[in-house]
Amino acid sequence: MTTLLLTHPACLKHNTGEHHPESVSRLRTVLRHLDREEFHFLQRDQAPRATHAQLELAHPTRYIEAIEAAVPAEEGQFNSIDGDTMISQGTWEAALRSVGGVCFGVDEVMQKKARNVFCATRPPGHHAETAKAMGFCFFSNAAIGAIHAVARYPEVKRAAVVDFDVHHGNGTQEIFYNSPNLFYASSHQSPAFPETGKESETGVANNICNVELAPGSRPKEFRAAYEEKILPALRKFNPDFLVISAGFDAHARDPLAHLRLGTQDFVWVTEELCKVANECCDGRVVSVMEGGYDVDALASSVAAHVKTLMRA
Ligand SMILES: [Zn+2]
């Protein structure tokens, strides 16, 4: 068993318009890196479409229908949710593949067909709340994957999402907040979009763990956030399944944020998270791509992350 890479060509058809940071070229460059010789041993498959029932694990029917109804009739047209969350003709299919990939990844891990999974999909998901698209996100991919694991597999009593994207995953937090069997931990720059994720936001049963990092924070502060807070909280929660919201915009070269991480820090945090998963849940991990807006830094960071998953 090895790492399974899930993606789908439809994720390259979610057009966000010219000069948008969440661009098609992000995923195109990531996939080019993952085509290199060193990734020869990856298993590869296409991300299936999410079912309506999977979307409804986190979102009400009327919201799902409103997103579908906002898809423009013609290619080249756009509808904007909040000024930067753009819907084009390809958005619906891409969003379904992004949710479907995480759920299928959970199935493949649970059925021992893959050791762990990386979903190279877009749009990202962690800003999407129960009934609110925002921050380039429509459906809460990682949250739905974790809920799917609990809903479908009796041996999964508790599922966790750990999010090292530089932005707080307000959507995942909102969806998990009142569910003691779902855990969400995030390290993020503060202040920064979306201005949520205070350390005082702890969920109904200490099932939320936020660590705020000041702009300019370096690897030392990032690693301390995990060693002192997130990893102990995750071990205490003792998940039966771990989903990683893998955003790479805490990289020093990222244009949308101001942390100073490098590729090695993403390797380190991936190793640490896989260690906890090995201790708690037989290494069951599905990682899903969130942000990362310097295309080259994103692609090399994803490559390093996936290589680490392959060694886990
Ligand atoms: Zn982000």
Tell me: the pLDDT tens digits for 105-145? 999 999 999 999 999 999 999 999 999 999 999 999 999 99
Number of structural domains in the chain: 1
Residues with CB under 5 Å of ion ligand 1 are 165, 167, 247, 249, 291
For ligand 1, the distance from its centroid to the CA atom of residue 290, given in whole angstroms, is: 7
Among residues of the chain, what percentage have pLDDT more than 90? Answer: 97
Asked if 280 and 227 count as a contact pair (C-beta separation under 8 A), the reply is no
CATH code for the domain of 196: 3.40.800.20
For ligand 1, the distance from its centroid to the CA atom of residue 167, given in whole angstroms, is: 4
pLDDT at residue 197 in the model: 98
pLDDT at residue 1 in the model: 82
**Which member of 127, 148, 251, 305 is catalytic?**
127
For ligand 1, the distance from its centroid to the CA atom of residue 280, given in whole angstroms, is: 27
- Average pLDDT (275-286) is 98
For ligand 1, the distance from its centroid to the CA atom of residue 254, given in whole angstroms, is: 10
pLDDT at residue 129 in the model: 98
pLDDT at residue 135 in the model: 98
- Average pLDDT (157-161) is 99
Q: Which tokens is 161 given?
A: 């999402």
Question: Pick from 91, 86, 129, 121: which is nearest to 103 by CA?
Answer: 121
The pLDDT mean for the chain works out to: 98
Residue 86 has pLDDT above 90, yes or no: yes
Residue 35 has pLDDT above 90, yes or no: yes
pTM (predicted TM-score): 0.98
For ligand 1, the distance from its centroid to the CA atom of residue 312, given in whole angstroms, is: 25
Domain assignment of residue 160, given as a range: 3-311
- Average pLDDT (9-15) is 97
- Average pLDDT (159-168) is 99
- Average pLDDT (146-172) is 98
pLDDT at residue 237 in the model: 98
Asked if 244 and 162 count as a contact pair (C-beta separation under 8 A), the reply is yes
Residue 61 is which amino acid? Answer: T
Q: Which tokens is 119 given?
A: 């979903």
For ligand 1, the distance from its centroid to the CA atom of residue 35, given in whole angstroms, is: 25
For ligand 1, the distance from its centroid to the CA atom of residue 287, given in whole angstroms, is: 15
For ligand 1, the distance from its centroid to the CA atom of residue 110, given in whole angstroms, is: 28
- Average pLDDT (6-35) is 97
Asked if 188 is an active-site residue, the reply is: no
pLDDT at residue 264 in the model: 98
Coil vs helix vs strand at 298:
helix
Q: For residue 241, give Cα distances in angstroms to 109, 160, 181, 183.
A: 10, 6, 11, 10
Banded model confidence at residue 83, pLDDT cuts 50, 70, 90: confident
- Give the helix/strand (H/E) hosting 44: strand 43-46
Banded model confidence at residue 92, pLDDT cuts 50, 70, 90: very high
pLDDT at residue 232 in the model: 98
Question: Pick from 252, 255, 272: which is nearest to 263 by CA?
Answer: 252
- Give the helix/strand (H/E) hosting 95: helix 91-110
pLDDT at residue 242 in the model: 99
Kindly give, in sequence order, each residue whose CB lies less than 8 Å from that of residue 269, ignoring residues fewer than 6 positions away. Answer: 164, 222, 223, 226
Residues 33 and 299: their CA atoms lie apart, in Å, by: 6
DSSP 217-257: --HHHHHHIIIIIIHHHHHHH--SEEEEEE--TTBTT-TT-
